[in-house]
């Protein structure tokens, strides 16, 4: 199977992509029910209603929804769509959809039907998707509800087109069963909180939108080689495999020339992305062989996340056309870089100001410092929840490796801003005339966008006019960490405003009150600021002295979702209810267990049905050769005996460790408590994988290459 796969991969022809006949500006967003399309199709009243819903969060009444549905139906049918679906994001980690036809039979004919009811609401099964105990098996009713802030789009498959309507997914009782509903609440929360603080500086500011750009890393593997690796097929990563002699140590893949076949794949999915209004900007080779990255322009958080999930679906589908499989797993190959999603976040006002960009005068710089320092304080207070929001069985392999931040949440601001913050904090009033001295705010205009280095080891780094959360895993739905970040910052801004207002009420000037509270917030959050190498052992020791958490595994980190701080950040502001938080915790524990359980089963199958038979066959061949030599009085040498013993020992230990892992898994499965089960799977099952792998990878080095059935790393990574 391995050699057939290698042959198929080597003989693969480049799938040529026809150059777009339509100019890119015309192609862009052509499959999106965009603002321009709505303007042309909808009545003025219907368009105004949708626009108010998008910009101001106002509800759309049924009459206007009927007008929108009629216009949307006509547009979709003219585009060739035959079905429609509510496109939502259940707590499975992927998207979901249930297709319905636009056509209903009527007296032997097909009649087009699509009403306001079809647009606004549908009813998928709420008990068959993860719900954390919020629904019983016999309580199936759940609802998807239209999200007008994310435009409908047409998804093109090989044989048809489907109208997709972005929606939230809630239970019969209204509990959120998806990632989007809490995200939308957090977006509204940070909008109101940031706007309230901004009004200290400019009354023209009436809204603040969270902005996001998501960089997406991924691997490509030939489809034939992928199909010959059961671990890649079922787990998304290789559970065994010895590192090739050449990996990424030469640094020759990073930003290197893109292979022709890969380039055609990139160009193909980029064309499809353009039709869907996904503003892809960048493509390049990443550090590891076989690894690549694409990155879009910034968008509103909700749309950026929808586009990222849609992009992943596109990339997966287009990869198959080119004979590839795309791997989004955070660590598909041991010993080389894994993949992440770098979430670049900022706040933009309705007046066009990026609140994380230093201004040109002291007043605007005080506004910058207000948002900047409060964001740092928010991260400090919610560090454990942020760590939980990026936790997963797959991301545990990546956090702390040489291409990803460690599990310690810290903030990097750069040397220039470190000096600014220090000068700001130490500034004092003169003791004689009662006048304020310069608070160094006027010096901030010296900061240029690139007047600070980048720290790729920091999980939360300021990069000029935005913060970059680098620790998000490549398979993750970014809605989860962004919900946490939005809510944390909003909660901190409201607390800050309450304290400033209290000072003003006592007679302090507005500017003095703001400066005083910023100094308090900065002093309280200084211990999370770190400018050095986050990979170093010294930082781990220093972080412990500072009281910062270093939570290295998912089961331990997830508990933060039901902490007192989580109640303060989420429950008090209506982002989640207590029940929703506990349900999500239950879902995440269960998901963790299932992923490790699947990996354990696959690993055992690989050992018993692939590795041991090949190794034993080769061992028998060696033993037979020794016997033949001894029979003709040609005594076998020391090297032959040592090789036989080494292979035999690795076979014995591989089986012993695999049997032990299986027993640990069976024991863990009997635990009733989901958290205890997750902990047992981490310590007793997952941690035994390395012991098994150590033996298997040694056997891969010793067994005759012709007998090894699984494609090796050198083939998976380098055959393109």
Q: Do 168 and 192 share a domain, yes or no? A: no
- Judged by DSSP in three states, 246 sits in coil
Q: Do 171 and 281 share a domain, yes or no? A: no
Q: Do 128 and 216 share a domain, yes or no? A: no
pLDDT at 359: 73
Q: Do 618 and 658 share a domain, yes or no? A: yes
Q: Is residue 358 part of a domain?
A: yes
Which one is predicted more confidently, 430 or 409?
409
Output the 3-class SS for 693-707.
Answer: HHHHHHHHHHCCHHH
Q: How many CA atoms lie within 13 A of 389 on its CB side?
A: 28
Which of 109, 141, 175 is a domain's end point?
A: 175
Q: What is the CB neighbour count within 10 angstroms for residue 328?
A: 20
Q: How many CA atoms lie within 13 A of 516 on its CB side?
A: 15
For range 262-289, the mean pLDDT: 96
Q: Is residue 635 pLDDT above 90, yes or no?
A: no
What b-and-e string marks burial along 562-575, b requiring 16 or more CB atoms within 10 Å of the CB?
Answer: eeeebebbbbebeb
In this structure, of 96-110, 451-465, 472-486, the range with the lowest mean pLDDT score is: 451-465
Q: Is residue 514 part of a domain?
A: yes
Q: Do 387 and 257 share a domain, yes or no? A: yes
Residue in 39, 27, 91 with CA at minimum distance from that of residue 271: 27
Which of 524, 553, 576 is a domain's end point?
A: 576
Express each pLDDT in 689-707 by its tens digit: 999 999 999 999 999 999 9
Q: Is residue 586 part of a domain?
A: no
Find the CATH number of the domain harbouring 128.
3.10.20.70
pLDDT at 401: 55
pLDDT at 135: 80
In this structure, of 273-277, 308-312, 420-424, 713-717, the range with the lowest mean pLDDT score is: 420-424
Q: Do 157 and 193 share a domain, yes or no? A: no
Find the CATH number of the domain harbouring 695.
1.20.120.1560
Q: Do 298 and 434 share a domain, yes or no? A: yes
Residue 535, burial from CB neighbour count under 10 angstroms (0-12, 13-18, 19+): middle
- Phi, psi (deg, nearest 5) at residue 86: -85, 120
Q: Is residue 333 part of a domain?
A: yes
pLDDT at 440: 53
Q: Do 291 and 341 share a domain, yes or no? A: yes
Q: Is residue 633 pLDDT above 80, yes or no?
A: no
Q: Do 467 and 530 share a domain, yes or no? A: yes
pLDDT at 576: 97
Residue in 348, 360, 344, 399 with CA at minimum distance from that of residue 213: 344
Dihedral sign computed on CA atoms, order 154, 155, 158, 161: negative
pLDDT at 454: 67
Residue in 31, 26, 55, 53 with CA at minimum distance from that of residue 300: 55
Q: What is the CB neighbour count within 10 angstroms for residue 637?
A: 11
pLDDT at 630: 76
Tally of domains in the chain? 3
Q: Is residue 203 part of a domain?
A: yes
Which of 175, 203, 234 is a domain's end point?
A: 175
pLDDT at 82: 95
In this structure, of 102-111, 484-493, 513-522, 546-555, the range with the lowest mean pLDDT score is: 102-111
Q: Is residue 584 part of a domain?
A: no
Which one is predicted more confidently, 636 or 662?
662
Residue 34, burial from CB neighbour count under 10 angstroms (0-12, 13-18, 19+): middle
Query: What is the reported pTM?
Result: 0.94
Dihedral sign computed on CA atoms, order 662, 664, 665, 669: positive
pLDDT at 436: 42
Q: Is residue 2 pLDDT above 70, yes or no?
A: yes
| Beta partners for residue 461, in sequence order | 412, 468
Q: Rounded to an integer, what distance in angstroms lies between the CA atom of residue 414 and that of residue 197?
A: 25
In this structure, of 310-319, 335-344, 364-373, 436-445, the range with the lowest mean pLDDT score is: 436-445
Domain that holds residue 690: 591-718
What pLDDT band is residue 430 in, cutting at 50, 70 and 90?
very low
* Two structure tokens written together for 667: 């024991």
Q: Do 264 and 147 share a domain, yes or no? A: no
Q: Rounded to an integer, what distance in angstroms lies between the CA atom of residue 591 and that of residue 677?
A: 11
Q: Do 197 and 148 share a domain, yes or no? A: no
Give, to the nearest 10 degrees, the angle between helix 62-78 and helix 44-56: 100
pLDDT at 151: 96
Q: Is residue 583 part of a domain?
A: no
Q: Is residue 7 part of a domain?
A: no
State the average pLDDT for the chain: 91
Express each pLDDT in 121-142 by its tens digit: 998 887 889 989 888 777 778 9
Q: Is residue 715 pLDDT above 60, yes or no?
A: yes
Q: Do 552 and 655 share a domain, yes or no? A: no
Find the CATH number of the domain harbouring 378.
3.30.590.10
């Amino acid at each position: 199977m391995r050699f057939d796969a290698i042959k198929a991969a080597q003989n693969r022809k480049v799938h040529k992509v026809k150059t777009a006949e339509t100019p890119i500006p015309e192609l862009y967003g052509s499959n999106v029910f965009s603002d321009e399309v709505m303007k042309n199709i909808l009545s003025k009243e219907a368009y105004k209603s949708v626009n108010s819903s998008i910009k101001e969060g106002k509800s759309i009444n049924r009459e206007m929804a009927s007008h929108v549905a009629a216009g949307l139906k006509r547009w979709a049918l003219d585009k060739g769509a035959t079905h429609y679906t509510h496109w939502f994001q259940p707590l499975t980690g992927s998207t979901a959809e249930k297709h319905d036809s636009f056509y209903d039979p009527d007296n032997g004919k097909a009649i087009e039907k699509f009403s306001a009811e079809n647009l606004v609401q549908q009813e998928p099964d709420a008990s068959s998707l993860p719900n954390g105990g919020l629904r019983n098996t016999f309580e199936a009713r759940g609802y998807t509800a239209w999200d007008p802030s994310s435009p409908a789009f047409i998804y093109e498959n090989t044989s048809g087109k489907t109208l997709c309507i972005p929606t939230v997914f809630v239970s019969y009782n209204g509990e959120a069963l998806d990632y989007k509903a809490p995200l939308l609440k957090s977006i509204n929360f940070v909008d109101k909180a940031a706007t309230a603080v901004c009004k200290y500086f400019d009354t023209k500011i009436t809204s603040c939108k969270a902005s996001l750009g998501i960089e997406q890393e991924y691997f490509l593997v030939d489809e034939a080689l992928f199909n010959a690796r059961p671990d890649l097929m079922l787990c998304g990563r290789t559970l065994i495999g010895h590192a090739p002699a050449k990996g990424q140590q030469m640094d020759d893949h990073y930003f290197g020339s893109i292979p022709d076949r890969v380039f055609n794949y990139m160009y193909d999915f980029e064309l499809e992305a353009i039709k869907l209004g996904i503003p892809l900007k960048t493509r390049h080779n990443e550090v590891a062989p076989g690894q690549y990255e694409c990155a879009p322009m910034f968008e509103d958080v909700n749309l950026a996340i929808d586009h990222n999930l849609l992009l992943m679906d596109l990339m997966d589908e287009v990869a198959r056309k080119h004979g590839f499989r795309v791997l989004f797993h955070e660590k598909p190959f041991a010993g080389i870089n894994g993949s992440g999603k770098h979430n670049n976040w900022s706040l933009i006002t309705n007046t066009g100001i990026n609140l994380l960009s230093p201004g040109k005068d002291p007043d605007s710089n005080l506004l910058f410092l207000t948002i900047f320092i409060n964001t740092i304080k928010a991260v400090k207070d919610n560090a454990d929840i942020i760590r939980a929001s990026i936790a997963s069985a797959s991301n545990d392999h990546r956090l702390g490796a040489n291409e990803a931040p460690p599990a310690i949440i810290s903030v990097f601001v750069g040397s220039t801003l470190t000096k600014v913050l220090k000068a700001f904090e130490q500034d004092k009033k003169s003791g004689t005339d009662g006048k304020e001295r310069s608070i160094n705010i006027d010096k901030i205009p010296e900061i240029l966008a690139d007047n600070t280095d980048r720290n790729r080891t920091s999980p939360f780094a300021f990069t000029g006019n935005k913060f970059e959360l680098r620790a998000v895993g490549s398979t993750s739905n970014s809605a989860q960490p962004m919900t946490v970040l939005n809510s944390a910052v909003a909660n901190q801004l409201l607390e800050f405003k309450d304290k400033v207002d209290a000072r003003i009420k006592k007679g302090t000037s507005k500017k003095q009150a703001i400066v005083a509270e910023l100094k308090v917030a900065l002093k309280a959050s200084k211990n999370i600021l770190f400018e050095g190498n986050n990979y170093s052992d010294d930082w781990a020791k220093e972080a412990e002295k500072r009281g910062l958490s270093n939570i290295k595994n998912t089961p331990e980190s997830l508990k933060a979702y039901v902490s007192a701080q989580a109640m303060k950040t989420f429950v008090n502001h209506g982002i989640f209810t207590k029940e929703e938080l506990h349900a999500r915790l239950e879902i995440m524990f269960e998901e963790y267990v299932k992923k490790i359980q699947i990996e354990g089963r696959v690993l055992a199958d690989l050992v018993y049905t692939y590795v041991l038979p090949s190794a034993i066959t080769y061992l028998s061949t060696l033993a037979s050769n020794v016997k033949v030599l001894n029979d003709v009085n040609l005594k076998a040498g020391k090297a032959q005996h040592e090789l036989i013993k080494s292979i035999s020992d690795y076979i014995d230990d591989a089986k012993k460790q695999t049997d032990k892992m299986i027993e640990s898994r069976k024991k863990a499965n009997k635990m009733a408590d989901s958290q205890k089960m997750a902990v047992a799977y981490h310590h007793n099952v997952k941690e035994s994988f390395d012991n098994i792998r150590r033996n298997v990878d040694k056997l891969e080095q010793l067994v005759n290459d012709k007998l090894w059935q699984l494609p090796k790393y050198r083939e998976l990574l380098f055959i393109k």
